[in-house]
Structure 1
């Protein structure tokens, strides 16, 4: 099946279907992580983000359920985050080596990369520790799958349309607020909040591509590209924070040439992300939500009428 809500079907059933498929994918990636943790844990965290985006979309229809389950999957994501951060540091060095090839030797990017690879090997949970973390995470997925049967959402077209519009609106508002904060304060946490909202919005566009006012595909592509740029900026922030704090693996002499490259990369990414986010969220959230609700009511109503005739 697909990661999209079928307007011909009841919202409760569609949400259960999509969530169930995502939970199965997460559990499968967690199992694979026993032998290949780097890639599998990254894939598991991506699916968790997609699942949590779905929960936020239908949140207005069953707040208690969505809050409990969102907390469950956030905790799972946190429990498997450490190996991914170690890999992200390596990827940041690789991007710097590509973007600033003429400065790679002076900054000893090759040597730093070797150090980071070594750190990643030492920073994992260890065989026993990782196995226990995975066992707990998979058990939580199983519990979450069972809990899906208690989810109850409005299925009448008008009510279902309002749930989806309100859920999408909350994320659009969060994105606009994070964009404003990123412009005014520009702290790492502000851009991180913007990144989370953009990623969630991109997932909502995928879920609602049969219901979102056209053209949805170009908007989704722009949101996904912005999410990637914000992810790169987040990785730069993390590396700079580790260096400034003298935390492992940067607990030796300060790599001054690397810091200069990180600052140059950060400056370019800030400018790019702010410009792209301003363009993506130029429309007022309430206006977008009204258009979504109107189209959703129409499409859901038409499909219900066709079902009754059949």
Structure 2
């Protein structure tokens, strides 16, 4: 993250106990006085409760004014149980659409900019080129529909707000595909993984750094003109390709991972077949492009091993 002139950042991160929220808080610790992050989980800040949202954003704005910091909200709160959302769309809508709507309204009234994190699942996935921010939305799942509604709510709120779409996020904390593959490698001789869904795996620590760079730009008067941006690690692969890369990083034989089709592994929620997001908008905004997904995966394993020296190499 580049250094901006003036005071540091004061950042409120709803959804702060998820993998992205934890990485935002960890990055703030690394940056020292430059960034102060408050990262409450849903038990501390339920974005579906208007009173809690008003109090949290008001406290952020007042504290920033008192300390001379520049306030910003980075919304990482989300209902991310993609399959469960098919039967609980109302609950998903409350967190993914109503919550961002309230955050945006309060941010607007308090003069605090908002960065809202969204997903590649807002697209239909039937294309053959990376999606640009202005491409039509065509979500195929309840999760995707509720996230698209959240984007509309934020962008139509009148707040100084930016939507950042990302994809296939994994990190050192919480449950995610990469950690599931690590677990299954130790318990299964072979494993079948879908090879006809294409996307860009994104390391949450890299995404956190990108979001804080954007927040710094916004609050220092150098905000991107485009209010919808895409931020992922570079390159693309399938879930099968990612699983094989995880096995290789563990020193296991990647051939133990076998390809299968989406039809072979039916799930309640339909997934986009191709949901790679173009990084052109991020680069054109002058923001630092994220490294390749392969480099990011290597950094993830370095982080895991730093936390646990007994982890397999």
Give the TM-score range, shorter chain.
0.3 to 0.5
Give the structure-2-normalised TM-score. Answer: 0.32
Q: Higher Cα Rg: structure 1 or 2?
A: 1
Q: TM-score, normalised by structure 1?
A: 0.32
Structure with higher strand content = 2
Structure with a larger share of its residues in helix: 1
Q: Which has the higher contact order (CA 8 A, sep 6+)?
A: 1
